Amino acid sequence: MAAERPPLRVFVAGLMHETNSFSPLPTSLRNFEADCAYRPPSLDGRAAALDFAGYGDALRTVAAHGDEAVEGPCWWTQPSGPCPAPLYARLRDSVLDALRAAGPVDEVLLVLHGAMVAEGTPDCEGDILEAVRALVGAEVPVGAVLDLHGNVGERMIASGAILVGVKEYPHVDYGPRVEELHAILAGMARGGPRPTMFLRTVPVLGLQGTTEQPMRGFVESLQAVEGRDGIVSATLMHGFPWSDWEQTGASVLIAAIGADPARIAAIADDLATRYTAIVTGASVQRLDVAGAVDAALASPPGRGPVVIADSSDNPGGGAACDSTFLLRELLARGVRDAALGMIWDPQAAQIAADAGVGARLRLRVGGKVGPLSGDPVDVLVEVLAVRADVKQRFFSAEPRTPLGLAAGLRAGGVEFVVNSIRQQVFAPECFTELGIDVASRNLVVVKSSQHFRACFDPIARATVYCNAPGSLNTDLAQMPYEHLRLLPGVGVHAIDRAVLRARFPA
* Per-residue pLDDT, 494: 62
Which range, of 388-397, 438-447, 448-457, 494-503, averages the lowest pLDDT? 494-503
Residues 30, 88: contact at Cβ < 8 Å?
no
Where are the alpha helices (H) located in 370-470, listed in sequence order?
A: 429-432, 453-456
Where are the alpha helices (H) located in 172-288, listed in sequence order?
A: 174-189, 215-225, 261-281
Strand partners, 145: 111, 164
Q: Which residue type, as a one-letter code, is found at position 325?
A: F
For the chain, what is the radius of gyration of the CA atoms?
23
CA–CA separation, 107 and 7 (whole Å)? 11
With bands split at pLDDT 50, 70 and 90, how would you rate the model's confidence at 497?
low
Question: What is the 8-class DSSP label of residue 313?
Answer: G
Q: Which residue type, as a one-letter code, is found at position 221?
A: S
Mean of all residue pLDDT scores within the chain: 93
Question: What is the 8-class DSSP label of residue 440?
Answer: G
Torsion of CA 327, 329, 330, 334, to 10 degrees: 140
Average pLDDT over residues 485-491: 54
Which comes out higher in pLDDT, residue 492 or 4? 4
pLDDT 10s digits, 154-163: 999 999 999 9
With bands split at pLDDT 50, 70 and 90, how would you rate the model's confidence at 474?
confident
Average pLDDT over residues 253-272: 96
425 CB contacts (<8 Å, ≥6 apart)?
Answer: 341, 342, 392, 446, 447, 448, 452
* Per-residue pLDDT, 495: 56
* Per-residue pLDDT, 293: 98
* Per-residue pLDDT, 496: 55
With bands split at pLDDT 50, 70 and 90, how would you rate the model's confidence at 489?
very low
Average pLDDT over residues 188-216: 92
CA–CA separation, 34 and 32 (whole Å)? 5
Task: Strands of 388-422 (E only): list them.
Answer: 391-392, 401-402, 406-411, 414-419
CA–CA separation, 430 and 449 (whole Å)? 16
Residues 220, 165: contact at Cβ < 8 Å?
no
pLDDT 10s digits, 102-119: 999 999 999 999 999 999
Residues 391, 429: contact at Cβ < 8 Å?
yes
* Per-residue pLDDT, 281: 80
Q: What is the pTM of this model?
A: 0.86
| Angle at which helices 261-281 and 215-225 cross, to 10° | 170
pLDDT exceeds 50 at position 322: yes
Give percent above pLDDT 70 in the chain.
94
CA–CA separation, 177 and 161 (whole Å)? 15
* Per-residue pLDDT, 505: 54
Average pLDDT over residues 337-359: 98
CA–CA separation, 344 and 315 (whole Å)? 9
CA–CA separation, 123 and 130 (whole Å)? 11
* Per-residue pLDDT, 30: 95
pLDDT exceeds 80 at position 285: no
301 CB contacts (<8 Å, ≥6 apart)?
Answer: none
Reply yes or no: is the peptide bond before residue 16 cis, omega within 30 of 0: no
pLDDT 10s digits, 256-265: 999 999 999 9
CA–CA separation, 391 and 48 (whole Å)? 13
Q: How far is CA 91 from CA 110, 244, 246, 504, in A?
A: 14, 21, 24, 23
Domain-wise residue ranges, the chain:
9-282+486-503, 289-466
Average pLDDT over residues 370-377: 93
3-state DSSP call for residue 266? helix
Surface-to-core class of residue 294, CB atoms within 10 Å of its CB (0-12 exposed, 13-18 middle, 19+ buried): middle
pLDDT exceeds 60 at position 277: yes
Instruction: List the end-to-end C-alpha distance of the chain, in Å, as a whole number.
Output: 34
Task: Indicate if the alpha-carbon torsion angle 53, 278, 151, 138 is positive or negative.
Answer: positive
CA–CA separation, 189 and 143 (whole Å)? 12
354: number of Cβ within 10 Å: 11
pLDDT exceeds 90 at position 28: yes
Question: What is the 8-class DSSP label of residue 50?
Answer: H
